[in-house]
Amino acid sequence: MQHGIPRSTRNIAPARHRRRASTRLRVLRTTAVAVAGVTLAGVVVAAVTGGSHDTAPTGAVDIDRQAGAEASARAEAAARAEAAARAGRSVRTPASTSPTPSASVSATAQPSASAVPKAMTKPTAAEPTLTKTTAPAPAWVTPMTDAAITSCYGPRWGVLHAGIDFAMPAGTPVRAAYDGTVTKASDAGDGYGISVVVDHGNGYLTHYAHLSTAKVGLGAQVAAGDTIGLEGSTGDSTGPHLHFEVHQGQLWNQIDPAPFLRARGIDLAC
């Protein structure tokens, strides 16, 4: 069969050498890149099965080499792309679908100290400044409250009536008209019956006569409004009443009590 194929002696050795080398290379490359595709497989199979030909064109070998290199490159690129895709999926896939709150975040949000409004402080009312004031001078008072005036200071029955008479039921309390010291608290037998005299220390004395009883003793200190006795009808008296006198400078120097008390805020109907 070989006699029918003319061949040149010059090309026998190189042609056989190239056929054996290209056949082994194509087999190895075909095995490595089996995934190269139907076209590459067809070329390789045709080359392998065409071993009956004594010669193989040099251009086919170069095409085979280029196709194998491209297939290898594509396979390597596909492998790198697959590896990169897997790596990307592993990075993008979260470890857990349920978000886990940070340990530093409390389950219940607590307001920070700076966010809590300060309690409003109520303004403290300024304490009033206490200033010392001079105590008001003791006021004079009427010796018998709500009593009827039955007789005023002046001439009566041909003699001087030296005081003012206050009428109330017997036993009504009689009050000191002003502060002072008791200088008499008895019945001296002088027609005044049981009487009390108070020296006020300012040049004036007051005299309370016809009492049923005295409630203070000689030398007692009294204040305006203190009870010094009870109304009665002792001495030269025609019925229960208080005979009230004001003495200026010394005892028995009587003056009209009405203008005296009026000047001190007490207006009597006389």
- The answer, yes or no, to whether residue 194 has pLDDT greater than 90, is yes
- The answer, yes or no, to whether residue 270 has pLDDT greater than 80, is yes
Structure tokens given for 209: 């006569």
Q: Where are the alpha helices (DSSP H) in the chain?
A: 9-32, 38-49, 58-92, 257-262
- The answer, yes or no, to whether residue 16 has pLDDT greater than 90, is no
3-class state of residue 184 by DSSP: strand
d(CA 180, CA 201): 7
pLDDT grade for 170, boundaries at 50, 70 and 90: very high
d(CA 101, CA 106): 9
Considering only residues 88 and 98, tell me which one the structure prediction assigns the higher pLDDT. Answer: 88
pLDDT at 41: 44
Whether the predicted model's global pTM rises above the 0.75 cut: no
Contact criterion met (CB below 8 Å) for 196 and 208 = yes
Of 48-57, 130-139, 176-185, the range with the lowest mean pLDDT is 48-57
pLDDT at 251: 92
- The answer, yes or no, to whether residue 229 has pLDDT greater than 80, is yes
Query: So where are the chain's domains?
Result: 2-90, 148-262
pLDDT grade for 213, boundaries at 50, 70 and 90: very high
Contact criterion met (CB below 8 Å) for 244 and 210 = no
d(CA 131, CA 133): 6
pLDDT at 69: 79
Considering only residues 67 and 208, tell me which one the structure prediction assigns the higher pLDDT. Answer: 208
Considering only residues 144 and 269, tell me which one the structure prediction assigns the higher pLDDT. Answer: 144
Which CATH number is associated with domain 148-262?
A: 2.70.70.10
Of 136-140, 166-170, 179-183, the range with the lowest mean pLDDT is 136-140
d(CA 191, CA 103): 110
- The answer, yes or no, to whether residue 156 has pLDDT greater than 60, is yes
Contact criterion met (CB below 8 Å) for 206 and 185 = no
Of 52-66, 74-88, 131-145, 253-267, the range with the lowest mean pLDDT is 52-66
- The answer, yes or no, to whether residue 171 has pLDDT greater than 70, is yes
